[in-house]
Amino acid sequence: MGSTGDRRRRAALVAAAGLVPAAFLAVFFVLPVGTIVGMGFHPGALVDVAGSARLRGIAWFTLWQAVVSTVLTFVVALPAAAIVARYEFPGRRLLRAAVTIPFVLPSVVVASAFEALGLSHGLVAILAAHVFFESAIVVRIVGGFWSNLDPRQEEAARLLGAGRLRAFLEVTLPRLAPALLSAAALVFLFTFSSFGIVLILGAPHYATLEVEIYRQTAQLLDLRVAAALTIVQMAAVLALLLVQRALSDRVSGEQRLRAGTDVARRPRTVRERAGVATVAGATALVLGGPLAVLVVRSFSPGGGVGLGYYRALSTSRRGSILFVPPWEAVANSLGFAVVATVVALAVGVPAAAVIARRRGGATRLFDSLLMLPLGTSAVTIGFGFLVALDERPLDLRGSPWLIPLAHALVAAPFVVRVLVPVLRSVDERLREAAATLGASPWRAWREIDLPIAARGALVAAGFAFAVSLGEFGATVFVARPDYPTLPVAIFRFLGQPGDLNAGQAAALSTILMAVTVGAVLAIDRFRAGELGEF
């Protein structure tokens, strides 16, 4: 047993760790959002919003489509998470990496692929696109956690006569619950604040609060209505997060986690093999279909077959300053993604350590605040940057740093949600044993928590990287210097008529896909090497 002195020191360390994320959040979220909402806030506007049938309809649509999208995403992605976690099969690594591709693609590109598949507009297209985008969250977060679970408990249940389904429902599912809740919260937040997909595929009949806030802020500059809608959106998100927290406090317990490498095995029976093949095939078809449309398009210049669009990428037809050599767009994207990932980890890891250890009301609020940027309108955050961060030394307006910082704001919640269930699962007795043996709290954390957390941290890093590659968050709306990334270059091509422009957009999208898979595979590989050690 550790002495009270050790406990106190440990508590102090945990509290100190919370300062970095708290400061980051205060400067880059609370201040900007507080300023812009403060500029427009008027109690009467809340009454107007509540009284408007159109805005009530938008709020209701936002909520129900997010619930339905979340459920559908789990239906599609959970089987894939299971096979990736439990079975070793050819293409497993690639599948785990490739599910991230849809996540980074610009909405307008995905919409054009859906259009080609006959899903052009309307509700079905919106829901399908959400499943397409968010499956990565379930496969990677639930799958990652799952592959850390000791399969022997489940095997024991089966030996004791439980059927496959019963063993899953009664043994595996409860143990997976923390990761399921984490993934569900993220998918819900992403679909609740869905912007591009709803704007494009939902026009003109469907809108989310996020779309309406964008319209009120960026197009109409009606800060009064925008502030009221932002408050409604944040209140809904906060309520959801508190429910999520309460549930996850209930389900998370310490349990034995193992390195994932020795858990997966080859499918043994014919039935297992058929099952794995069916799930892998179905997932590849659902997520790969729209991607294939884009890849094929990029290799079909003028209706033929060839590399014409790719060749066109490297020649500037107009000698424009806006011409971007593809390698430069790739380098810009990767550079911003690296910075965003580092910042997201620097903010998210200490935050997760604090949240995993403490359960008081203050921690709960801190946790929810950290998640809030994900459920807050990107245009509110972006315009907030402009009005709040306009004094030195924080005048980041027009600075390239604004881009990765905004990305990190969206990526940090991923780090927290991935790490908290993992850290919570660490057996407290291990820590106490280490303390008894004379280890300092820092050493105990490094030796016990860190190795287990490393895996989660890498899953999280993969997401942070993808969030930045896909240019999520406030950056698309706000004044930014001309460092064209891949998505920005894609928009540029899509903005003008002409076959070469459309083709080059498809070619750049294909390059973005390749860069994503490459980066995520590299991060995954790094992970496998690290964990072989324990």
Stretch 374-393: interaction string toward another protein, x if CB under 8 A: ---------x--xx--x-x-
Q: Which of residues 14-73 bind another protein (CB under 8 A)?
A: none
Q: Binding another protein by CB under 8 A: which of 446, 479, 514, 532?
A: 479
Q: Binding another protein by CB under 8 A: which of 143, 144, 301, 375?
A: 301
For another protein, which stretch binds (CB under 8 A), given 6-14, 79-87, 115-123, 126-134? 115-123
- SS3 string of 50-64? HHCHHHHHHHHHHHH
Stretch 89-108: interaction string toward another protein, x if CB under 8 A: -------------------x
For another protein, which stretch binds (CB under 8 A), given 138-146, 244-252, 470-478, 508-516? 470-478
Look up residue 17 and give its DSSP letter.
Answer: H
Q: How many residues form the binding site for another protein (CB under 8 A)? A: 73
**174: Cα within 13 Å, side-chain hemisphere:** 12
Find where tokens 């998100």 sit. Answer: 237
Phi, psi of 265 (to 5 degrees): -140, 165
**Distance, CA of 332 to CA of 158 (rounded, Å):** 52
**Distance, CA of 285 to CA of 326 (rounded, Å):** 29
**Distance, CA of 464 to CA of 472 (rounded, Å):** 10
Q: Binding to another protein by residue 286, rule CB under 8 A?
A: no
Q: Are 497 and 302 in contact (CB under 8 A)?
A: no
Q: Binding another protein by CB under 8 A: which of 1, 5, 90, 320?
A: 320
Q: Are 72 and 130 in contact (CB under 8 A)?
A: yes
Q: For the CA atoms of 466, 467, 471, 476, what is the dihedral angle to 10 degrees?
A: 170
The nearer residue to another protein, 189 or 478, going by C-beta atoms, is 478
For another protein, which stretch binds (CB under 8 A), given 272-280, 320-328, 359-367, 456-464? 320-328
Stretch 205-244: interaction string toward another protein, x if CB under 8 A: x---------x-xxxxx-----------------------
Residues 6+ apart with CB under 8 A from 527: 454, 455, 458, 459
For another protein, which stretch binds (CB under 8 A), given 7-15, 184-192, 275-283, 334-342? 334-342
Q: Binding another protein by CB under 8 A: which of 236, 312, 346, 430?
A: 312
Q: Binding to another protein by residue 110, rule CB under 8 A?
A: no
The nearer residue to another protein, 18 or 384, going by C-beta atoms, is 384
Using left for φ > 0, alpha for ψ between -120 and 50, and beta otherwise, residue 209 falls in alpha
* Nearest distance, CB of residue 228 and another protein, angstroms: 17
The nearer residue to another protein, 87 or 214, going by C-beta atoms, is 214
Stretch 484-513: interaction string toward another protein, x if CB under 8 A: -------xx-xxxxxxxxx-----------
**Distance, CA of 127 to CA of 114 (rounded, Å):** 12
For another protein, which stretch binds (CB under 8 A), given 70-78, 127-135, 309-317, 417-425? 309-317
Q: Are 295 and 119 in contact (CB under 8 A)?
A: no
How many CB atoms neighbour CB 350 within 10 A?
A: 21
**Distance, CA of 303 to CA of 482 (rounded, Å):** 33
Q: Are 368 and 242 in contact (CB under 8 A)?
A: yes
* Nearest distance, CB of residue 510 and another protein, angstroms: 16
Q: Are 229 and 216 in contact (CB under 8 A)?
A: yes
* Nearest distance, CB of residue 309 and another protein, angstroms: 9
The nearer residue to another protein, 84 or 379, going by C-beta atoms, is 379
* Nearest distance, CB of residue 112 and another protein, angstroms: 6
Q: Binding another protein by CB under 8 A: which of 17, 58, 95, 111?
A: 111
The nearer residue to another protein, 353 or 520, going by C-beta atoms, is 520
